[in-house]
Amino acid sequence: MAKSLKIIPLGGLNEIGKNMTAYEYGNDIIVVDAGVAFPDDEMFGVDLVIPDISYLIKNKKRVRAIFITHGHEDHIGAIPYVMRDLDCPIYCTRLTAGIVEIRLIEHQMLDRVELIRFDAGDVMEVGCFTVEAIHVNHSIADAVAFAITCPAGVVVQTGDFKIDLTPIQGGMIDLTRFGELGQMGVDLLLSDSTNVEREGYAMSERMVGRSLEALFDGCDKRIIVSTFASNVHRIQQIINAAYKYGRKVAVTGRSMENILNVASGLGYIDIPFDTLIDLNKIKQYPPNKLCIISTGSQGEPMSALYRMAFSGHRQITISDSDMVILSSSAIPGNEKSIYRLINELFRKGAEVVYEKLDAVHVSGHACKEELKMILSLTKPKNFMPVHGEYRHLKTHATLAEMCGVNRKNIFLNEIGRVLELYPDGSCKLNGTVPSGKLLVDGYGVGDVGSVVLRDRKLLSQDGLITVVVAISTADGSLVAGPDIVSRGFVYMKEAEELLDEIRQTVIETVGACQRMNIADPITIKGNISDEVKEILYHKTKRSPMVLPVVMMV
């Protein structure tokens, strides 16, 4: 039987973020993207969520390369963690490589990882795979799609894209190449589903430039613009508007400073002479001659704009002489943080402009008509929607059927489930590989699991009661205690009666263990925990975590 190409999604399906897809043929594996997702409200204390790559680790000798579509965190953020366990080169465009280098330097890994730079239009041979990079438009420069060819057939993975007829830089998406591939035959298309629910076309990035210029024109206040650090085209337009209206530009926020240095060094941002000033010198200029570009458009705690809003920024204090522009849209899940930030900015007296009030942001993802165009140009025999929650994938599948893809050849997949492509152009779902989420908490990767999260959730809801006792090894009698410590459950000075009942319950439990000749500390802990939990629920209808500490003396 002829060999098949295995397409293995390890992230990015039925979720936003954590994008990662492995392609396996024979003895060769390549990977497209290695992104992170951000924790939801149930992941207490977790910093990042990355894909489970245990399948790749098990087959690390066969992993030939990682190819990156673009430099957003949901496509590159997991690289420092993934490369702890894999030993292969990373292929990416110049700007993406510059951003990846920043991440690797932060993790002291730059000398361990080989970065191979390519340009849109380049064709790379890795193992049995031929990978062609196709220029696309997105909300970051240097984004590409990939046409992946192996003996089993041709797969096109779009990455994140839109069709921008008037882009700021780099030219329009290479629709011609998508059409040529369609004429030659595309066996499988994997396409971005993020904006499939939106009708029409995504607006051009130049629309934001016009809106920004209108806001700058005649404004007599200091202007603070917050946007995604990676959106170099947006940063360029902010700088252009500031220069046109005679304002100096200062930058605040570590990620913004890093991206500006990388992008300007590589020629992706052009800063007019004598326009950029050091943030420490802003007091030398009147407010109406200043523009500050800041991080924090998602309301992230400790970001530059957040510190400004809550009076924690060293150089910048928000007042009624400021106009603050949030040039971004809310990432799902961040709405509450963003509106808290906006409310605080209003409270400080600032004039605040955000997406609901003005056209200060456009999406980097294709809407319905653009998705139809890619489907119509590539004419895929098979289709697997990616990069979206289930409703996005389902809607995109319906769209593909409208564009002529046979319903039997449309695959609504899930992470870890293998889709096989055969040389005759047929596809089928066949088996699974280990997959899921690894939680990053500080320097720890994967050491916070469901049990730890359950405990953290319990602590956040009902608190903790610690019971400390000392028991004689000679006869099992109570030598000292019980001492009761409460954290997040009750204020001890106001709950003496309840705490006395807990102490009495513990004394009785230890006495019962003594009479039954139970000397095992683990069994004694279990009995104390059960009895204390029962009395606490009976008295308070709450279930705090009970942590018994038994010392045998």
Mind listing the domains of the chain with CATH numbers? 5-200+363-435 (3.60.15.10), 206-353 (3.40.50.10710), 450-552 (3.10.20.580)
Q: How many whole angstroms separate alpha carbon 259 and alpha carbon 251?
A: 11
What pLDDT, on a 0 to 100 scale, did the predictor assign at position 464? 74
- Tens of pLDDT, residues 444-491: 454 444 544 455 455 555 677 788 888 877 777 777 878 887 776 655
Report whether 293 contacts 251 (CB < 8 A): yes
CB atoms within 10 A of CB 465: 23
The radius of gyration of the chain from alpha carbons, rounded to an integer in Å, stands at 28
Q: How many whole angstroms separate alpha carbon 163 and alpha carbon 181?
A: 17
What pLDDT, on a 0 to 100 scale, did the predictor assign at position 448? 46
Q: How many whole angstroms separate alpha carbon 547 and alpha carbon 468?
A: 9
CB atoms within 10 A of CB 510: 23
The whole model's pTM is what?
0.80
Residues tagged active-site: 192, 365
In this structure, is the dihedral angle defined by the CA atoms of residues 535, 540, 543 and 545, taken in order, positive or negative?
Answer: negative
- Residue at token pair 């991206």: 259
What pLDDT, on a 0 to 100 scale, did the predictor assign at position 358? 60
Q: How many residues does the chain have?
A: 553
Residues paired with residue 148 on neighbouring β-strands, in sequence order: 131, 155
What pLDDT, on a 0 to 100 scale, did the predictor assign at position 447? 46
Sheet holding 48-51, edge to edge: 48-51, 437-441, 444-445
Element of type H or E holding 294:
strand 290-294
Report whether 529 contacts 548 (CB < 8 A): yes
What pLDDT, on a 0 to 100 scale, did the predictor assign at position 460? 53
Element of type H or E holding 92:
strand 90-92
Q: How far apart are the first and last CA of the chain?
A: 70
Q: How many whole angstroms separate alpha carbon 435 and alpha carbon 415?
A: 7
CA distance to 99, 120, 121, 404, per residue, from 115 (Å) = 11, 16, 18, 40
The stretches in the chain having pLDDT less than 70 are: 1-2, 39-47, 332-333, 356-359, 440-462, 488-495, 542
- What are the structure tokens assigned to 56, written together? 């790749």
